[in-house]
């Protein structure tokens, strides 16, 4: 009977050992889960900041670059043509008065609204939301232990350093642009090599502003999670 009881039921000591083993495995899984969640949240913050930066700043600049002031020039040309014809040909005065009125409606704002009406996806500022795993109710960065807290503090310092670096880049590049715009000359009057340099500097500033925006978003997410 003693042998049969021993084969059917485990001792209390064996159960305690198994319980300790499973508790250790659960702690390890919780630690990995917290690390994966933190990485996910940081990536989302960076991605959303980049998206906001694109739709709020870069998209507008891209459109202006592609347009090359076309709408202002078209409006100016039509207005000048209509005025000239009104002075030289009184018989066609009514027709050119109509052209003059219509020329005043040629604006990039109206054209942009029409463009976005046909292609609405280009004007949508898409933001991605955090999608936790099933049963996971934590939606912000958290520290699981001292090691994860050190990792997050290190990440915060990296973000601060990145922001300072990009601010310095923006400031120094802006000074270089001011030096190139000598004597208040119009941009069209500058030599080709100077125009190329201006474009490079502006692109550097755009990239620095984007990286700064992303780092600020990550830093804000880290602060919400309690990181210093």
pLDDT by residue (tens digit) across 39-75?
Answer: 898 899 999 898 888 888 888 888 888 888 888 898 9
Q: Note the pTM of the prediction, 2 decimals.
A: 0.60
Q: Is the pLDDT of residue 4 over 60?
A: no
Weakest-pLDDT range from 82-86, 171-175, 196-200: 82-86
Residues near 197 by Cβ (< 8 Å), separated by ≥ 6? 176, 180
Count of Cβ atoms closer than 10 Å to residue 40 Cβ: 15
pLDDT of residue 169: 95
Dihedral (Cα; 185, 191, 193, 199), 10-degree rounding: 40
CA-CA distance, 165 to 159, in Å (whole number)?
10
Please give the DSSP secondary-structure letter assigned to residue 176.
H
pLDDT-derived band of residue 10, with 50, 70 and 90 as boundaries?
A: low
CA-CA distance, 126 to 32, in Å (whole number)?
29
pLDDT-derived band of residue 27, with 50, 70 and 90 as boundaries?
A: confident
**Of the ranges 6-15, 163-172, 190-199, the best mean pLDDT one:** 163-172
pLDDT-derived band of residue 8, with 50, 70 and 90 as boundaries?
A: very low
pLDDT of residue 183: 47
pLDDT of residue 186: 60
DSSP H or E stretch at residue 98: helix 93-103
CA-CA distance, 213 to 46, in Å (whole number)?
8
């Amino acid at each position: 009977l003693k042998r049969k009881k021993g084969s059917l039921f485990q001792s209390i000591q064996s159960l305690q050992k198994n319980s300790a083993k499973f508790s250790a495995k659960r702690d390890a899984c919780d630690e990995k889960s917290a690390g994966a969640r933190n990485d996910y949240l940081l990536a989302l913050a960076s991605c959303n900041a980049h998206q906001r930066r694109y739709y709020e700043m870069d998209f507008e600049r891209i459109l202006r670059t592609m347009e090359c002031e076309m709408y202002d020039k078209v409006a100016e040309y039509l207005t000048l043509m209509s005025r000239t014809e009104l002075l030289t040909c009184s018989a066609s005065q009514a027709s050119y008065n109509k052209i003059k009125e219509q020329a005043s409606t040629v604006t990039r704002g109206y054209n942009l609204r029409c463009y976005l009406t046909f292609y609405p996806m280009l004007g949508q500022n898409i933001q991605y939301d955090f999608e936790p795993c099933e049963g996971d109710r934590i939606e912000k960065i958290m520290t699981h232990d001292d090691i994860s807290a050190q990792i997050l503090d290190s990440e915060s310092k990296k973000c601060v350093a990145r922001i300072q670096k990009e601010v310095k880049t923006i400031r120094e590049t802006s000074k270089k642009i001011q030096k190139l715009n000598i004597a208040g000359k119009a941009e069209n009057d500058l030599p080709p090599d100077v125009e190329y340099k201006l474009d490079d500097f502006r692109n550097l500033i755009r990239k620095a502003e984007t990286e700064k925006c992303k780092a600020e978003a990550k830093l804000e997410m880290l602060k919400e999670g309690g990181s210093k």
